[in-house]
Amino acid sequence: MAVRPITIIGHKALHQPTKKVKEITPEVRTLVADMFDTLDAANGAGLAANQVGVRLRIFVYDCADDSGIDQRGVVINPVLEKGSVPPGDPSPEDGAEGCLSVPGEHFPTARSEWARVTGTDLDGNEVVVEGHGGTLARCLQHETDHLDGKLYVERLSPTYRTQAREAIKRRGWEAAHLTKWDPATQEAEKV
């Protein structure tokens, strides 16, 4: 399989809702295998299909559950259920979140302590993944947001949103017209 370039904030694929997968084709299987290779190369916790430029409702994940046990899988056509999001700014120690499409940055992001996604796997079997606090619950919400065309920086409180905008500007992603980065080489591509 292959490591695919990851789209960077500002790329239109990240800001549009994805399309439901109607059939598991050989191309979908290849996409999922490539997504796992890309996730591993980038050392990420999750990766949505639109982060590699494909507008399909699929994400892969590899992160610890509430017991600290590593969970790895794919969810096709996920539907998210979650608890309420606590009001106010999250604690910087507890709520730091990053994204492979906003490389190198982490900001406190308010998320529900509980989340569950239901969907299917590559064989059409029902998949239910649930997290109670910790990385898995955050990952499920983060990846489903991607599939809905939303980045975590859009969920930040006003204070952290300003910090994120400044960091993005400082890195020059918009000015340089960067659209993707390759986790295998760590190099960015220009438009």
List the domain boundaries for the chain: 6-85+102-170
Q: How many residues does the chain have?
A: 191
Q: Worst-scoring range by mean pLDDT, 2-6, 125-129, 131-135?
A: 131-135
What is the chain's alpha carbon radius of gyration, rounded to the nearest angstrom? 16
In the residue annotation, 174 being an active-site residue is answered as no
CATH tag, 6-85+102-170: 3.90.45.10
- The model's pTM is 0.93
Residue 142 marked ligand-binding = yes
Give CA–CA dist 46/139, Å, rounded: 6
Give CA–CA dist 14/148, Å, rounded: 9
Please provide residue 156's backbone torsions phi and psi, each rounded to the nearest 5 degrees: -70, 150
Give CA–CA dist 71/94, Å, rounded: 20
Q: Which amino acid is at 23?
A: E
What pLDDT is stored for residue 88 in this prediction? Answer: 79
Q: Which of 23, 27, 143, 174 is catalytic?
A: 143
Residue of 28, 40, 33 whose CA lies nearest to 124: 28
130's torsion region: left (phi>0), alpha (psi -120 to 50) or beta? beta
3-state class (DSSP) for residue 110: coil
Per-residue pLDDT at 77 exceeds 90: yes
Residue 99 marked ligand-binding = yes
- In sequence order, the 6+-apart residues with CB closer than 8 A to the CB of 21 are 28, 56, 57, 58, 76, 77
Q: Worst-scoring range by mean pLDDT, 79-83, 88-92, 95-99, 119-123?
A: 88-92
Q: Which helix (H) or strand (E) holds 68?
A: none
Per-residue pLDDT at 123 exceeds 60: yes
Per residue in 82-97, pLDDT tens? 999 888 788 777 778 9
Residue of 180, 120, 114 whose CA lies nearest to 190: 180
Give CA–CA dist 191/16, Å, rounded: 19
Per residue in 140-176, pLDDT tens? 999 999 999 999 999 999 989 999 999 988 887 665 5
Distances (CA, A) of 145 to 73, 103, 116, 120, 150: 17, 17, 13, 18, 5
